Chains A and B, each alone.
Chain A
Protein backbone atom coordinates (compact mmCIF):
# COMPACT_ATOMS: atom_id res chain seq x y z
CA UNK A 1 0.00 0.00 0.00
CA UNK A 2 1.51 3.33 -0.93
CA UNK A 3 1.09 5.53 2.11
CA UNK A 4 3.68 8.24 1.57
CA UNK A 5 1.45 10.43 -0.61
CA UNK A 6 -1.53 10.57 1.73
CA UNK A 7 -0.39 13.58 3.64
CA UNK A 8 -3.53 15.70 3.86
CA UNK A 9 -5.76 12.84 4.94
CA UNK A 10 -3.43 11.45 7.58
CA UNK A 11 -3.40 14.94 8.97
CA UNK A 12 -7.14 14.49 9.52
CA UNK A 13 -6.93 11.28 11.49
CA UNK A 14 -6.87 9.14 8.35
CA UNK A 15 -10.56 9.22 7.42
CA UNK A 16 -10.05 7.28 4.20
CA UNK A 17 -8.79 3.76 4.66
CA UNK A 18 -6.51 1.95 2.25
CA UNK A 19 -8.21 -0.15 -0.39
CA UNK A 20 -9.30 -3.57 0.80
CA UNK A 21 -7.06 -6.31 -0.44
CA UNK A 22 -9.23 -9.37 -0.82
CA UNK A 23 -6.72 -11.91 -2.00
CA UNK A 24 -3.17 -11.31 -0.87
CA UNK A 25 -2.00 -14.35 -2.86
CA UNK A 26 -2.88 -12.66 -6.15
CA UNK A 27 -1.72 -9.06 -5.95
CA UNK A 28 -1.77 -8.84 -9.73
CA UNK A 29 -5.49 -9.61 -10.02
CA UNK A 30 -7.43 -6.66 -11.37
CA UNK A 31 -9.90 -5.04 -9.00
CA UNK A 32 -12.68 -5.54 -11.51
CA UNK A 33 -12.97 -7.76 -14.52
CA UNK A 34 -16.00 -8.06 -16.79
CA UNK A 35 -15.74 -11.31 -18.70
CA UNK A 36 -17.97 -11.30 -21.79
CA UNK A 37 -20.76 -9.61 -19.88
CA UNK A 38 -24.10 -9.29 -21.62
CA UNK A 39 -27.03 -7.33 -20.23
CA UNK A 40 -30.46 -7.40 -21.79
CA UNK A 41 -33.68 -5.70 -20.76
CA UNK A 42 -36.38 -7.74 -22.43
CA UNK A 43 -35.21 -8.06 -26.01
CA UNK A 44 -33.09 -4.93 -25.80
CA UNK A 45 -29.39 -5.73 -25.55
CA UNK A 46 -27.56 -2.99 -23.66
CA UNK A 47 -24.19 -4.73 -23.24
CA UNK A 48 -23.14 -7.46 -25.61
CA UNK A 49 -20.23 -9.61 -24.42
CA UNK A 50 -18.34 -6.72 -22.81
CA UNK A 51 -14.75 -7.33 -21.67
CA UNK A 52 -13.40 -4.77 -19.23
CA UNK A 53 -10.61 -4.66 -16.68
CA UNK A 54 -9.86 -2.11 -14.00
CA UNK A 55 -6.58 -2.49 -12.17
CA UNK A 56 -6.27 -2.11 -8.42
CA UNK A 57 -5.94 1.56 -7.62
CA UNK A 58 -6.60 2.51 -11.23
CA UNK A 59 -8.84 5.47 -12.10
CA UNK A 60 -10.99 4.81 -15.12
CA UNK A 61 -13.54 7.16 -16.62
CA UNK A 62 -16.33 6.02 -18.91
CA UNK A 63 -17.53 8.52 -21.48
CA UNK A 64 -19.99 8.22 -24.30
CA UNK A 65 -23.39 9.35 -25.47
CA UNK A 66 -26.49 8.95 -23.34
CA UNK A 67 -27.92 5.45 -23.51
CA UNK A 68 -24.60 3.82 -24.39
CA UNK A 69 -24.65 1.62 -21.27
CA UNK A 70 -22.30 3.45 -18.87
CA UNK A 71 -24.72 3.49 -15.96
CA UNK A 72 -25.60 -0.13 -16.63
CA UNK A 73 -21.95 -1.11 -16.15
CA UNK A 74 -21.78 0.60 -12.76
CA UNK A 75 -25.15 -0.80 -11.67
CA UNK A 76 -24.12 -4.33 -12.63
CA UNK A 77 -20.95 -3.94 -10.59
CA UNK A 78 -22.92 -2.57 -7.60
CA UNK A 79 -25.29 -5.57 -7.97
CA UNK A 80 -28.25 -3.27 -8.51
CA UNK A 81 -28.80 -5.28 -11.69
CA UNK A 82 -27.94 -8.89 -12.55
CA UNK A 83 -25.91 -9.88 -15.61
CA UNK A 84 -27.79 -11.73 -18.34
CA UNK A 85 -24.66 -13.58 -19.40
CA UNK A 86 -20.96 -13.56 -18.63
CA UNK A 87 -19.20 -13.15 -15.27
CA UNK A 88 -18.02 -10.18 -13.25
CA UNK A 89 -14.90 -10.80 -11.17
CA UNK A 90 -13.87 -8.81 -8.14
CA UNK A 91 -10.27 -8.90 -6.91
CA UNK A 92 -9.64 -11.99 -8.97
CA UNK A 93 -12.58 -14.09 -7.84
CA UNK A 94 -16.05 -14.55 -9.32
CA UNK A 95 -18.48 -11.95 -7.99
CA UNK A 96 -21.66 -12.12 -10.05
CA UNK A 97 -21.32 -15.89 -9.91
CA UNK A 98 -20.00 -18.48 -7.49
CA UNK A 99 -18.82 -22.05 -7.70
CA UNK A 100 -21.77 -24.22 -6.93
CA UNK A 101 -22.74 -26.54 -9.75
CA UNK A 102 -21.23 -29.95 -10.31
CA UNK A 103 -17.41 -29.85 -10.70
CA UNK A 104 -17.28 -26.29 -9.44
CA UNK A 105 -19.27 -24.90 -12.34
CA UNK A 106 -20.22 -21.24 -11.81
CA UNK A 107 -23.81 -20.50 -10.91
CA UNK A 108 -25.42 -17.08 -10.36
CA UNK A 109 -24.33 -15.76 -6.97
CA UNK A 110 -26.74 -15.95 -4.06
CA UNK A 111 -27.38 -13.04 -1.75
CA UNK A 112 -24.85 -14.20 0.81
CA UNK A 113 -22.07 -14.38 -1.78
CA UNK A 114 -22.90 -10.88 -2.95
CA UNK A 115 -23.43 -9.43 0.52
CA UNK A 116 -19.91 -9.92 1.87
CA UNK A 117 -18.23 -8.83 -1.37
CA UNK A 118 -20.26 -5.81 -2.34
CA UNK A 119 -19.01 -4.08 0.81
CA UNK A 120 -15.75 -3.53 -1.04
CA UNK A 121 -17.61 -1.31 -3.49
CA UNK A 122 -19.12 2.08 -2.81
CA UNK A 123 -21.29 4.15 -5.12
CA UNK A 124 -22.29 7.78 -5.40
CA UNK A 125 -25.44 8.47 -7.37
CA UNK A 126 -26.48 11.28 -9.65
CA UNK A 127 -29.41 12.15 -7.34
CA UNK A 128 -27.42 11.74 -4.05
CA UNK A 129 -30.03 9.40 -2.53
CA UNK A 130 -29.36 10.51 1.02
CA UNK A 131 -31.69 9.15 3.70
CA UNK A 132 -34.11 12.02 4.37
CA UNK A 133 -35.16 10.75 7.82
CA UNK A 134 -31.62 10.89 9.18
CA UNK A 135 -29.32 13.78 9.94
CA UNK A 136 -26.16 14.24 7.91
CA UNK A 137 -24.12 12.50 10.62
CA UNK A 138 -26.61 9.63 10.94
CA UNK A 139 -26.47 9.11 7.17
CA UNK A 140 -22.72 8.56 7.39
CA UNK A 141 -22.70 6.53 10.60
CA UNK A 142 -25.58 4.21 9.65
CA UNK A 143 -23.76 1.58 7.60
CA UNK A 144 -20.48 1.49 9.55
CA UNK A 145 -22.46 0.84 12.75
CA UNK A 146 -25.10 -1.55 11.43
CA UNK A 147 -23.19 -3.31 8.65
CA UNK A 148 -19.59 -3.28 9.87
CA UNK A 149 -20.46 -3.35 13.57
CA UNK A 150 -18.34 -0.34 14.47
CA UNK A 151 -19.08 1.39 17.75
CA UNK A 152 -21.12 4.59 17.56
CA UNK A 153 -18.22 6.56 19.01
CA UNK A 154 -15.68 5.31 16.47
CA UNK A 155 -18.07 5.67 13.55
CA UNK A 156 -19.13 9.13 14.73
CA UNK A 157 -15.56 10.31 15.10
CA UNK A 158 -14.68 9.07 11.65
CA UNK A 159 -17.85 10.56 10.17
CA UNK A 160 -16.84 13.97 11.55
CA UNK A 161 -13.39 13.59 10.00
CA UNK A 162 -14.99 12.74 6.67
CA UNK A 163 -17.31 15.73 6.96
CA UNK A 164 -14.24 17.92 7.49
CA UNK A 165 -12.71 16.33 4.41
CA UNK A 166 -15.72 17.26 2.27
CA UNK A 167 -15.90 20.73 3.84
CA UNK A 168 -19.10 20.21 5.84
CA UNK A 169 -17.76 19.90 9.35
CA UNK A 170 -20.39 22.33 10.63
CA UNK A 171 -23.44 20.57 9.12
CA UNK A 172 -23.33 17.24 10.97
CA UNK A 173 -26.73 17.75 12.62
CA UNK A 174 -28.52 19.23 9.59
CA UNK A 175 -31.21 17.42 7.66
CA UNK A 176 -30.10 16.52 4.13
CA UNK A 177 -33.15 18.35 2.75
CA UNK A 178 -31.80 21.57 4.27
CA UNK A 179 -28.60 21.38 2.21
CA UNK A 180 -27.82 22.53 -1.31
CA UNK A 181 -27.35 19.91 -4.00
CA UNK A 182 -23.60 20.32 -3.89
CA UNK A 183 -23.57 19.87 -0.12
CA UNK A 184 -25.84 16.82 -0.35
CA UNK A 185 -23.55 15.24 -2.89
CA UNK A 186 -20.53 15.86 -0.68
CA UNK A 187 -22.35 14.16 2.18
CA UNK A 188 -23.05 11.24 -0.16
CA UNK A 189 -19.34 11.01 -0.95
CA UNK A 190 -18.49 11.02 2.77
CA UNK A 191 -21.15 8.37 3.38
CA UNK A 192 -19.69 6.10 0.70
CA UNK A 193 -16.13 6.58 1.99
CA UNK A 194 -17.20 5.77 5.55
CA UNK A 195 -17.53 2.12 4.47
CA UNK A 196 -13.84 2.16 3.41
CA UNK A 197 -14.58 0.75 -0.05
CA UNK A 198 -11.68 -0.40 -2.20
CA UNK A 199 -13.60 0.65 -5.28
CA UNK A 200 -15.70 3.78 -5.66
CA UNK A 201 -18.27 4.14 -8.44
CA UNK A 202 -19.32 7.64 -9.47
CA UNK A 203 -22.25 7.94 -11.84
CA UNK A 204 -22.51 11.47 -13.22
CA UNK A 205 -22.32 12.84 -9.70
CA UNK A 206 -22.52 16.46 -10.83
CA UNK A 207 -25.18 16.14 -13.53
CA UNK A 208 -28.05 17.04 -11.20
CA UNK A 209 -26.30 20.10 -9.80
CA UNK A 210 -26.63 23.77 -10.63
CA UNK A 211 -23.51 24.80 -12.57
CA UNK A 212 -22.11 26.90 -9.73
CA UNK A 213 -22.15 23.90 -7.39
CA UNK A 214 -20.26 21.50 -9.66
CA UNK A 215 -16.77 22.68 -8.73
CA UNK A 216 -17.11 22.11 -4.97
CA UNK A 217 -18.02 18.46 -5.58
CA UNK A 218 -15.31 17.84 -8.17
CA UNK A 219 -12.71 19.45 -5.89
CA UNK A 220 -13.61 17.03 -3.11
CA UNK A 221 -13.30 14.11 -5.52
CA UNK A 222 -9.94 15.35 -6.78
CA UNK A 223 -8.84 15.48 -3.17
CA UNK A 224 -10.00 11.91 -2.59
CA UNK A 225 -8.31 10.71 -5.76
CA UNK A 226 -5.05 12.44 -4.91
CA UNK A 227 -4.85 11.39 -1.30
CA UNK A 228 -6.00 7.76 -1.39
CA UNK A 229 -5.25 4.69 -3.44
CA UNK A 230 -8.93 3.89 -3.98
CA UNK A 231 -9.93 2.36 -7.29
CA UNK A 232 -12.19 4.78 -9.18
CA UNK A 233 -14.68 3.97 -11.89
CA UNK A 234 -16.53 7.06 -12.93
CA UNK A 235 -18.99 8.25 -15.51
CA UNK A 236 -18.84 11.95 -16.21
CA UNK A 237 -19.29 14.62 -18.83
CA UNK A 238 -16.79 16.87 -17.05
CA UNK A 239 -13.78 16.38 -19.29
CA UNK A 240 -11.49 18.58 -17.22
CA UNK A 241 -12.19 16.43 -14.17
CA UNK A 242 -11.79 13.25 -16.22
CA UNK A 243 -8.38 14.42 -17.39
CA UNK A 244 -7.30 15.35 -13.85
CA UNK A 245 -8.19 12.10 -12.12
CA UNK A 246 -8.19 9.38 -14.78
CA UNK A 247 -5.40 7.03 -15.69
CA UNK A 248 -7.51 5.78 -18.55
CA UNK A 249 -10.62 6.85 -20.41
CA UNK A 250 -12.97 4.47 -22.16
CA UNK A 251 -15.21 5.77 -24.91
CA UNK A 252 -18.48 3.86 -25.14
CA UNK A 253 -21.07 3.69 -27.83
CA UNK A 254 -24.02 1.31 -27.88
CA UNK A 255 -22.59 -0.94 -25.18
CA UNK A 256 -19.20 -1.32 -26.84
CA UNK A 257 -15.81 0.20 -26.11
CA UNK A 258 -15.05 2.34 -29.14
CA UNK A 259 -11.71 3.55 -27.93
CA UNK A 260 -9.58 3.36 -24.82
CA UNK A 261 -6.43 5.17 -23.82
CA UNK A 262 -4.58 7.37 -21.36
CA UNK A 263 -6.68 10.40 -20.49
CA UNK A 264 -4.49 13.06 -22.16
CA UNK A 265 -4.03 11.02 -25.28
CA UNK A 266 -7.66 10.17 -25.80
CA UNK A 267 -8.85 13.69 -25.12
CA UNK A 268 -6.12 15.40 -27.20
CA UNK A 269 -6.06 13.12 -30.19
CA UNK A 270 -8.97 10.72 -30.32
CA UNK A 271 -8.45 8.03 -32.93
CA UNK A 272 -12.11 7.47 -33.75
CA UNK A 273 -14.61 9.68 -35.45
CA UNK A 274 -17.28 8.71 -32.84
CA UNK A 275 -15.00 9.91 -30.05
CA UNK A 276 -14.23 13.17 -31.86
CA UNK A 277 -17.92 13.79 -32.43
CA UNK A 278 -18.77 13.02 -28.83
CA UNK A 279 -16.01 15.19 -27.39
CA UNK A 280 -17.12 17.99 -29.69
CA UNK A 281 -20.65 17.71 -28.32
CA UNK A 282 -19.74 17.93 -24.63
CA UNK A 283 -17.21 20.77 -24.89
Chain B
Protein backbone atom coordinates (compact mmCIF):
# COMPACT_ATOMS: atom_id res chain seq x y z
CA UNK B 1 0.00 0.00 0.00
CA UNK B 2 2.77 2.39 0.94
CA UNK B 3 4.29 2.48 -2.53
CA UNK B 4 0.89 3.29 -4.02
CA UNK B 5 0.81 6.79 -2.59
CA UNK B 6 3.60 8.52 -4.54
CA UNK B 7 2.26 7.01 -7.77
CA UNK B 8 -1.26 8.14 -6.97
CA UNK B 9 -0.01 11.67 -6.51
CA UNK B 10 1.04 11.80 -10.16
CA UNK B 11 -2.01 9.81 -11.21
CA UNK B 12 -4.68 12.42 -10.62
CA UNK B 13 -3.36 15.09 -13.05
CA UNK B 14 -2.83 12.34 -15.65
CA UNK B 15 -6.35 11.15 -15.06
CA UNK B 16 -7.71 14.66 -15.53
CA UNK B 17 -5.87 14.95 -18.83
CA UNK B 18 -7.12 11.53 -19.92
CA UNK B 19 -10.78 12.23 -19.10
CA UNK B 20 -11.89 13.08 -22.67
CA UNK B 21 -10.34 9.83 -23.93
CA UNK B 22 -11.95 7.88 -21.10
CA UNK B 23 -15.32 9.40 -21.98
CA UNK B 24 -14.76 8.34 -25.58
CA UNK B 25 -13.91 4.87 -24.33
CA UNK B 26 -17.13 4.69 -22.35
CA UNK B 27 -19.04 5.79 -25.44
CA UNK B 28 -17.37 3.11 -27.58
CA UNK B 29 -18.15 0.46 -24.96
CA UNK B 30 -21.77 1.62 -24.78
CA UNK B 31 -21.96 1.71 -28.56
CA UNK B 32 -20.59 -1.83 -28.92
CA UNK B 33 -22.92 -3.04 -26.17
CA UNK B 34 -26.02 -1.42 -27.65
CA UNK B 35 -25.31 -2.40 -31.25
CA UNK B 36 -24.20 -5.90 -30.27
CA UNK B 37 -27.31 -6.34 -28.13
CA UNK B 38 -29.55 -5.05 -30.92
CA UNK B 39 -28.08 -7.54 -33.40
CA UNK B 40 -28.26 -10.27 -30.75
CA UNK B 41 -31.93 -9.49 -30.13
CA UNK B 42 -32.81 -9.76 -33.81
CA UNK B 43 -30.87 -13.02 -34.16
CA UNK B 44 -32.32 -14.38 -30.92
CA UNK B 45 -35.85 -13.91 -32.24
CA UNK B 46 -35.10 -15.24 -35.70
CA UNK B 47 -33.16 -18.30 -34.51
CA UNK B 48 -35.41 -18.91 -31.50
CA UNK B 49 -38.58 -18.92 -33.60
CA UNK B 50 -37.04 -20.88 -36.48
CA UNK B 51 -35.89 -23.56 -34.05
CA UNK B 52 -39.59 -24.17 -33.28
CA UNK B 53 -40.52 -24.60 -36.93
CA UNK B 54 -42.57 -27.64 -38.00
CA UNK B 55 -40.15 -28.19 -40.86
CA UNK B 56 -37.18 -30.32 -39.88
CA UNK B 57 -34.61 -28.68 -42.21
CA UNK B 58 -35.52 -25.22 -40.91
CA UNK B 59 -35.49 -26.34 -37.30
CA UNK B 60 -32.28 -28.31 -37.80
CA UNK B 61 -30.53 -25.41 -39.52
CA UNK B 62 -31.46 -22.99 -36.76
CA UNK B 63 -30.34 -25.43 -34.07
CA UNK B 64 -27.03 -25.95 -35.82
CA UNK B 65 -26.31 -22.21 -35.99
CA UNK B 66 -27.28 -21.76 -32.34
CA UNK B 67 -25.14 -24.66 -31.17
CA UNK B 68 -22.19 -23.48 -33.27
CA UNK B 69 -22.12 -19.95 -31.87
CA UNK B 70 -22.79 -21.11 -28.33
CA UNK B 71 -20.20 -23.84 -28.60
CA UNK B 72 -17.32 -21.71 -29.89
CA UNK B 73 -16.04 -18.96 -27.68
CA UNK B 74 -16.59 -15.27 -28.26
CA UNK B 75 -12.83 -14.82 -28.11
CA UNK B 76 -12.25 -17.19 -31.03
CA UNK B 77 -15.14 -15.75 -33.04
CA UNK B 78 -13.81 -12.24 -32.57
CA UNK B 79 -10.28 -13.18 -33.58
CA UNK B 80 -11.59 -15.10 -36.55
CA UNK B 81 -13.54 -12.08 -37.80
CA UNK B 82 -10.65 -9.70 -37.20
CA UNK B 83 -7.63 -11.74 -38.27
CA UNK B 84 -8.89 -14.59 -40.49
CA UNK B 85 -11.68 -12.94 -42.48
CA UNK B 86 -9.35 -10.35 -44.09
CA UNK B 87 -7.29 -13.21 -45.50
CA UNK B 88 -10.44 -14.31 -47.35
CA UNK B 89 -10.77 -10.81 -48.75
CA UNK B 90 -13.30 -9.32 -46.32
CA UNK B 91 -11.94 -6.57 -44.12
CA UNK B 92 -14.30 -5.21 -41.48
CA UNK B 93 -13.82 -2.24 -39.19
CA UNK B 94 -12.76 -3.36 -35.69
CA UNK B 95 -16.03 -2.10 -34.22
CA UNK B 96 -18.00 -3.95 -36.92
CA UNK B 97 -16.14 -7.16 -36.05
CA UNK B 98 -16.96 -6.56 -32.42
CA UNK B 99 -20.67 -5.94 -33.01
CA UNK B 100 -20.91 -8.96 -35.30
CA UNK B 101 -19.15 -11.28 -32.86
CA UNK B 102 -21.16 -10.05 -29.88
CA UNK B 103 -24.41 -10.26 -31.88
CA UNK B 104 -23.78 -13.80 -33.12
CA UNK B 105 -22.58 -15.13 -29.78
CA UNK B 106 -25.22 -13.56 -27.56
CA UNK B 107 -27.86 -13.99 -30.26
CA UNK B 108 -27.29 -17.73 -30.03
CA UNK B 109 -27.74 -17.67 -26.25
CA UNK B 110 -30.76 -15.38 -26.66
CA UNK B 111 -32.30 -17.80 -29.16
CA UNK B 112 -32.50 -20.35 -26.37
CA UNK B 113 -34.23 -17.77 -24.19
CA UNK B 114 -36.78 -16.99 -26.91
CA UNK B 115 -37.36 -20.66 -27.66
CA UNK B 116 -37.83 -21.51 -23.99
CA UNK B 117 -40.14 -18.57 -23.31
CA UNK B 118 -42.35 -19.33 -26.30
CA UNK B 119 -42.50 -22.99 -25.26
CA UNK B 120 -43.49 -21.94 -21.74
CA UNK B 121 -46.66 -20.17 -22.88
CA UNK B 122 -49.42 -22.68 -22.19
CA UNK B 123 -50.62 -24.68 -25.18
CA UNK B 124 -54.16 -23.75 -24.12
CA UNK B 125 -53.49 -20.17 -25.23
CA UNK B 126 -52.67 -21.35 -28.73
CA UNK B 127 -55.77 -23.52 -28.71
CA UNK B 128 -57.93 -20.57 -27.70
CA UNK B 129 -56.45 -18.74 -30.70
CA UNK B 130 -57.24 -21.63 -33.04
CA UNK B 131 -60.80 -21.77 -31.71
CA UNK B 132 -61.13 -18.08 -32.61
CA UNK B 133 -59.99 -18.76 -36.16
CA UNK B 134 -56.61 -17.08 -35.75
CA UNK B 135 -53.89 -18.26 -38.11
CA UNK B 136 -50.42 -19.26 -36.97
CA UNK B 137 -48.84 -15.85 -37.58
CA UNK B 138 -51.58 -13.98 -35.79
CA UNK B 139 -51.48 -16.36 -32.83
CA UNK B 140 -47.74 -15.93 -32.51
CA UNK B 141 -47.83 -12.15 -32.82
CA UNK B 142 -50.92 -11.38 -30.78
CA UNK B 143 -51.21 -14.23 -28.28
CA UNK B 144 -47.96 -16.12 -27.71
CA UNK B 145 -45.18 -13.55 -28.04
CA UNK B 146 -46.73 -10.88 -25.80
CA UNK B 147 -46.92 -13.48 -23.04
CA UNK B 148 -43.49 -14.90 -23.81
CA UNK B 149 -41.94 -11.42 -23.58
CA UNK B 150 -42.65 -11.23 -19.88
CA UNK B 151 -40.67 -14.46 -19.43
CA UNK B 152 -37.78 -13.25 -21.57
CA UNK B 153 -36.97 -10.01 -19.80
CA UNK B 154 -35.18 -11.49 -16.78
CA UNK B 155 -32.90 -13.86 -18.75
CA UNK B 156 -32.29 -11.12 -21.32
CA UNK B 157 -31.21 -8.84 -18.52
CA UNK B 158 -28.58 -11.38 -17.48
CA UNK B 159 -27.38 -11.79 -21.05
CA UNK B 160 -27.16 -8.05 -21.55
CA UNK B 161 -25.00 -7.57 -18.46
CA UNK B 162 -22.84 -10.51 -19.55
CA UNK B 163 -22.50 -8.94 -22.99
CA UNK B 164 -21.35 -5.68 -21.43
CA UNK B 165 -18.85 -7.56 -19.32
CA UNK B 166 -17.51 -9.33 -22.43
CA UNK B 167 -16.72 -6.07 -24.23
CA UNK B 168 -13.18 -5.67 -22.75
CA UNK B 169 -12.23 -8.40 -25.22
CA UNK B 170 -12.72 -5.81 -27.96
CA UNK B 171 -9.59 -3.93 -26.89
CA UNK B 172 -7.66 -6.97 -28.13
CA UNK B 173 -8.76 -6.23 -31.68
CA UNK B 174 -7.86 -2.51 -31.39
CA UNK B 175 -11.35 -1.23 -30.63
CA UNK B 176 -10.72 1.92 -28.52
CA UNK B 177 -13.20 0.97 -25.81
CA UNK B 178 -13.04 1.80 -22.12
CA UNK B 179 -10.61 -1.01 -21.33
CA UNK B 180 -8.35 0.12 -24.18
CA UNK B 181 -8.27 3.71 -22.91
CA UNK B 182 -7.69 2.72 -19.29
CA UNK B 183 -4.85 0.53 -20.46
CA UNK B 184 -3.30 3.58 -22.14
CA UNK B 185 -3.69 5.51 -18.91
CA UNK B 186 -2.10 2.69 -16.96
CA UNK B 187 0.97 2.49 -19.18
CA UNK B 188 1.45 6.26 -19.24
CA UNK B 189 1.17 6.57 -15.43
CA UNK B 190 2.35 3.17 -14.22
CA UNK B 191 -0.54 3.29 -11.73
CA UNK B 192 -1.76 -0.22 -12.36
CA UNK B 193 -3.87 -0.68 -9.21
CA UNK B 194 -5.54 2.72 -9.44
CA UNK B 195 -6.26 2.35 -13.18
CA UNK B 196 -7.83 -1.06 -12.82
CA UNK B 197 -9.77 0.00 -9.73
CA UNK B 198 -11.24 2.80 -11.80
CA UNK B 199 -12.03 0.29 -14.56
CA UNK B 200 -13.87 -1.96 -12.09
CA UNK B 201 -15.91 0.96 -10.82
CA UNK B 202 -16.87 2.16 -14.30
CA UNK B 203 -18.00 -1.30 -15.50
CA UNK B 204 -19.92 -1.81 -12.29
CA UNK B 205 -21.66 1.53 -12.77
CA UNK B 206 -22.64 0.68 -16.33
CA UNK B 207 -23.91 -2.76 -15.27
CA UNK B 208 -26.04 -1.17 -12.55
CA UNK B 209 -27.57 1.31 -15.00
CA UNK B 210 -28.36 -1.54 -17.43
CA UNK B 211 -29.93 -3.62 -14.65
CA UNK B 212 -32.11 -0.75 -13.53
CA UNK B 213 -33.30 -0.15 -17.08
CA UNK B 214 -34.12 -3.83 -17.53
CA UNK B 215 -35.90 -4.00 -14.18
CA UNK B 216 -38.19 -1.19 -15.31
CA UNK B 217 -38.86 -3.12 -18.53
CA UNK B 218 -39.62 -6.25 -16.56
CA UNK B 219 -42.09 -4.46 -14.32
CA UNK B 220 -43.84 -3.03 -17.37
CA UNK B 221 -44.02 -6.45 -19.04
CA UNK B 222 -45.45 -8.08 -15.93
CA UNK B 223 -47.95 -5.29 -15.41
CA UNK B 224 -49.15 -5.86 -18.95
CA UNK B 225 -49.88 -9.47 -18.03
CA UNK B 226 -51.86 -8.33 -15.03
CA UNK B 227 -49.25 -9.59 -12.56
CA UNK B 228 -48.32 -7.17 -9.85
CA UNK B 229 -44.88 -6.17 -8.66
CA UNK B 230 -42.17 -7.91 -10.65
CA UNK B 231 -38.52 -8.29 -9.78
Interface residues of A (CB under 8 A from B): 78-80, 111, 115, 118-119, 121-123, 125, 127, 129-133, 142-143, 146-148, 175-178, 191-192, 195
A118 with B226: CB separation less than 8 A: no
The number of inter-chain residue pairs (CB within 8 angstroms) is 67
Task: Report A229 CB to chain B, min CB distance, Å.
Answer: 20
B125 within 8 A of A: yes
Contacts A147-B133, A191-B132 aside, 10 further interface pairs with beta carbons under 8 A come to A78-B130, A80-B130, A111-B136, A118-B131, A129-B124, A131-B143, A131-B147, A142-B132, A147-B132, A176-B226
A115 with B133: CB separation less than 8 A: yes
Chain A residues lying within 8 Å of B133, measured Cβ to Cβ, are 115, 118-119, 143, 147-148, 195
B91 within 8 A of A: no
Interface residues of B (CB under 8 A from A): 124-125, 127-128, 130-136, 138, 142-143, 146-147, 150, 224-227
Question: In this complex, what residue of B is CB-closest to A175?
Answer: B226
User: B127 touches which one: A119, A129, A192 (CB < 8 A)?
Assistant: A129
A133 with B146: CB separation less than 8 A: yes
A115 with B135: CB separation less than 8 A: yes
Chain A residues lying within 8 Å of B226, measured Cβ to Cβ, are 132-133, 175-178
Assuming the contacts A127-B124, A146-B142, asked whether A133 and B132 have C-beta atoms less than 8 A apart, the reply is no
Question: In this complex, what residue of A is CB-closest to B228?
Answer: A177
CB<8 Å pairs between A and B, sample of 27:
A78-B130, A79-B130, A80-B127, A80-B130, A115-B133, A115-B135, A118-B133, A122-B132, A125-B124, A129-B124, A129-B128, A130-B128, A131-B128, A133-B147, A133-B225, A133-B226, A142-B142, A143-B133, A143-B134, A146-B138, A147-B133, A147-B135, A148-B133, A177-B227, A191-B132, A192-B131, A192-B132
Question: In this complex, what residue of B is CB-closest to A112?
Answer: B135
Chain A residues lying within 8 Å of B224, measured Cβ to Cβ, are 133
User: B225 touches which one: A115, A123, A132, A148 (CB < 8 A)?
Assistant: A132
Task: Report B47 CB to chain A, min CB distance, Å.
Answer: 24
Chain A residues lying within 8 Å of B138, measured Cβ to Cβ, are 146-147
Chain B residues lying within 8 Å of A123, measured Cβ to Cβ, are 131
Chain B residues lying within 8 Å of A80, measured Cβ to Cβ, are 127, 130-131
Most chain B beta carbons < 10 A, residue from A78, A130, A133, A143 = A133
